[in-house]
Structure 1
Amino acid sequence: MLLGLVAPAQAQVGTWWQRNEWSVAQEHAATHVSERVVAAVSAAARVRPRHGRVVVACMDGEWHALPPRIVAEVLRLDGWEVTFLGASVPAAHLVSYLHRHDPRAVALACALPMRLPQAARMVDACRRTEVPIIVGGRGFGPDGRWAARLGVPWAADANAAAALLADDRALDRLLVADRPQAPVSGEYTALAADRADLVAHCFAQLEAAVPQMAGYTTAQRDATLTDLGHIVDTLAAAVFVDDAALFGDFHEWLGEVLTSRGVPLYTVDIAFRALAERLRDFPVAHRILRDREGK
């Protein structure tokens, strides 16, 4: 039921929100129903643990908690003793928990690629506990390509996670395998430090080029600032893993979302040009932005 019904239904809810066919309120209501179904399955299924303890948690700043909760429940049904720590777990708190309880493994979830830099920091922190790490979620790419950049195994779904955890020798190899540190570049660090200024610059350029913004409500202005923040964060994540495809995928997704809400796409072009203008001395970011012109 969890993988055959709840997960596909929740994916459909996300599609309806993306197409603006459902409001945020409807999406939240549907998610609550899905959470109750997961809780009901958990209460009804009596399974005696026959494996060790696994900790499942969302990356710091990651609030999409339902998919990892489904993973946690599938692992429990598979015989693991599972502790689900929920959404947005601070790295320091997770590390403290791992030290205290010494689980067999920790599974970390990331739904949005823009959170990859935070995911990398969390992975590096968990490595110091000597607890094997697996990761999952769309934030690592549809094929887990960005998990590979961080040197951690990626599970496409709950069944794949269960298969990874079932291989004791593979888990033990994770502790002695080469474990590359997160590929932090000076360009990424500077982008992250300049985030607020970059968002403010893009907003000012939009106000100057789009007269209609003078009549924006507070909610509309806040939504625009949020979108600009997502653009900057995703660009920084693409620089972080040195993969323009990350930003290209986001650009296509953003275009679909804005079109469904009646926002003209030329506003995105204005924001991209404003960023490219400010980031002339950032070769990777500048190239990524120029590659998206006219697309």
Structure 2
Amino acid sequence: MTSHSTDTREGSRRHGVDAGRTSPHGDGQASRWADRLWAAVREGDEYAAVDVVTEALRTGLEPEAVLLDVIGSVQRKVGGEWAAGRMSVADEHIATAINERVISALPGNRPAVPRGRVTVACVDQEWHALPARLVAETLRLRGCRVDYLGAQVPTAHLIGHIHRTGPDAVCLSSSLPTRLPLAHTAITAVQATGTPVMAGGLAFGADGRYARMLGADAWEPDARAAADRLASGLPARPAAAHQAIDDLPHLGDQEYTVVAGASTRLVRETFHSLEQRFPPMKAYNDEQRERTAEDLAHIVDFLTAALYVDAPEIFTDFLTWTADLLTARGVPARSLVPGLDLLEEQLRDFPRARRFLDAGRAALASCP
């Protein structure tokens, strides 16, 4: 098992910001400004970063291009540098905070007559808010009235907001697939108010397959496409409620429910078994032991999410991403396999879970 955390909560998935299609200025001019912003961000100099954006606007780069092709591009680079081990978590936090500050420096656009009202929010427990922020700011620049609720919005509070404000549509963002069950809850709850839902973010798959599976009214891959789709209007939706199993009949086997309910026990027992059966753990210090427990928790979380949507690729993609991350930090990918073996021993009565674990081992075997 690993001795380095693969904590995707702080990882490059957070920064996989889909800025969108390149603007008319995008290929050359925006790229040059992005290089300058990156230099300021890397130095941790928020004043220089604001100056870069201010100058880019003064020289004629459109605000939407600055937002998506400059700031969004830099944030993607932050994620790549972290994943490659060239930025620490502290550096990544500083860079993200500066980009948030720079977004706030963009000019506002208060139209005399707003082009509709849209609520933009992250699903419950999703704290990677920058992708949603980019969508919200793009919509504002295009003349919409936007209620941006930020990260980790409990579904009950989101519904209360909808009842008070009556938006034309709700945009829900999630970056991590482990949030898909909560995203499903939010989608169905919003639709029960008669409000259409657009989903976005890496959690829903590069092609939006999980958004469609969970019943969202629309999905778009980036902020520009989302703004275009909303401008054309989402179909009206009658208020109606339904159950998760209506969208996902495979939940009838109860594997997701049981595994999710036993996740703490699965992590604890797998950790204790590793102590006894994985000799390198005897030399681990307290920090390495803590990181190993975190790694196991992530593995169980992604397995649970894969069971929810019956998509083994969610689990295998996480494992191969983790293997690449560990390899960049000098930890062999094969160190993940003992944990999978021990999990399978505990899940021998769950055929889907065992099949996903087998797929995970096969995926790791193909890693360099």
TM-score bracket relative to the smaller structure = over 0.9
TM-score between the two structures when normalised by the length of structure 2: 0.75
Corresponding residue SS for 1:79 = coil
Could you tell me which residue of structure 1 aligns to residue 110 of structure 2? 47
Given candidates 105, 117, 121, the residue that maps to 2:181 is 117
Distance (Å, rounded) in 2 between the aligned partners of 1:119 and 1:176:
18
Amino acid at match of 2:85: N
Corresponding residue SS for 2:195 = coil
Question: Per the alignment, do residues 46 and 79 of structure 1 end up closer, same or farther by CA in structure 2, a change over 3 Å counting?
Answer: closer
Given candidates 84, 90, 95, the residue that maps to 1:25 is 90
Deviation at 1:179, TM superposition (A): 7.6
Mapped pair 1:150 → 2:214: yes
Deviation at 1:98, TM superposition (A): 0.7
Deviation at 1:268, TM superposition (A): 0.7
User: Is the contact between residue 150 and residue 180 of structure 1 (CA under 8 Å) also seen in structure 2?
Assistant: no
Amino acid at match of 1:125: A
Distance (Å, rounded) in 1 between the aligned partners of 2:293 and 2:223:
35
Mapped pair 1:165 → 2:234: no
Could you tell me which residue of structure 2 aligns to residue 38 of structure 1? 103
Cα offsets for 1:215-249 (capped at 9, x unmatched): 43433322222221111111111111111111111
Distance (Å, rounded) in 2 between the aligned partners of 1:86 and 1:179:
26
Corresponding residue SS for 1:85 = strand
Given candidates 128, 131, 134, the residue that maps to 2:192 is 128
Q: Which runs of 5+ in 2 are unaligned?
A: 1-65
Distance (Å, rounded) in 2 between the aligned partners of 1:197 and 1:179:
31
Distance (Å, rounded) in 1 between the aligned partners of 2:242 and 2:69:
35
Could you tell me which residue of structure 2 aligns to residue 83 of structure 1? 147
Q: Kindly report which structure 2 residues correspond to 1:169-184, keeping only aligned pairs within 5 A, or say none.
A: 170-172=234-236, 174-175=237-238, 181=244, 182-183=247-248, 184=251
Question: Per the alignment, do residues 85 and 93 of structure 1 end up closer, same or farther by CA in structure 2, a change over 3 Å counting?
Answer: same
Amino acid at match of 1:235: L
Q: Kindly report which structure 2 residues correspond to 1:278-289, keeping only aligned pairs within 5 A, or say none.
A: 278-289=346-357
Q: Percent identity?
A: 44
Which range moved further: 198-207 or 59-68? 198-207
Distance (Å, rounded) in 2 between the aligned partners of 1:178 and 1:84:
25
Distance (Å, rounded) in 1 between the aligned partners of 2:238 and 2:198:
12
Deviation at 1:209, TM superposition (A): 3.2
Deviation at 1:27, TM superposition (A): 0.4
User: Is the contact between residue 107 and residue 133 of structure 1 (CA under 8 Å) also seen in structure 2?
Assistant: yes
User: Is the contact between residue 206 and residue 271 of structure 1 (CA under 8 Å) also seen in structure 2?
Assistant: yes
Distance (Å, rounded) in 1 between the aligned partners of 2:156 and 2:312:
31
Which range moved further: 284-293 or 257-266? 257-266
Mapped pair 1:230 → 2:230: no
Distance (Å, rounded) in 2 between the aligned partners of 1:206 and 1:16:
31
Distance (Å, rounded) in 1 between the aligned partners of 2:70 and 2:232:
27
Distance (Å, rounded) in 2 between the aligned partners of 1:217 and 1:75:
49
Name which structure has the greater RCO, CA cutoff 8 Å, separation 6+: 2
Amino acid at match of 1:12: K
Amino acid at match of 2:337: D
Could you tell me which residue of structure 1 aligns to residue 157 of structure 2? 93
Corresponding residue SS for 1:293 = helix
Deviation at 1:208, TM superposition (A): 2.2
Distance (Å, rounded) in 1 between the aligned partners of 2:361 and 2:97:
40
User: Is the contact between residue 191 and residue 241 of structure 2 (CA under 8 Å) also seen in structure 1?
Assistant: no
User: Is the contact between residue 151 and residue 179 of structure 1 (CA under 8 Å) also seen in structure 2?
Assistant: no
Given candidates 301, 314, 322, the residue that maps to 1:246 is 314
Mapped pair 1:6 → 2:54: no
Q: How many residues align?
A: 291
Deviation at 1:180, TM superposition (A): 7.8
Distance (Å, rounded) in 2 between the aligned partners of 1:291 and 1:205:
22
Deviation at 1:269, TM superposition (A): 0.2
Distance (Å, rounded) in 1 between the aligned partners of 2:270 and 2:72:
37
Corresponding residue SS for 2:153 = coil
Corresponding residue SS for 1:55 = strand
Deviation at 1:267, TM superposition (A): 2.3
Question: Per the alignment, do residues 5 and 180 of structure 1 end up closer, same or farther by CA in structure 2, a change over 3 Å counting?
Answer: farther
Corresponding residue SS for 1:292 = helix
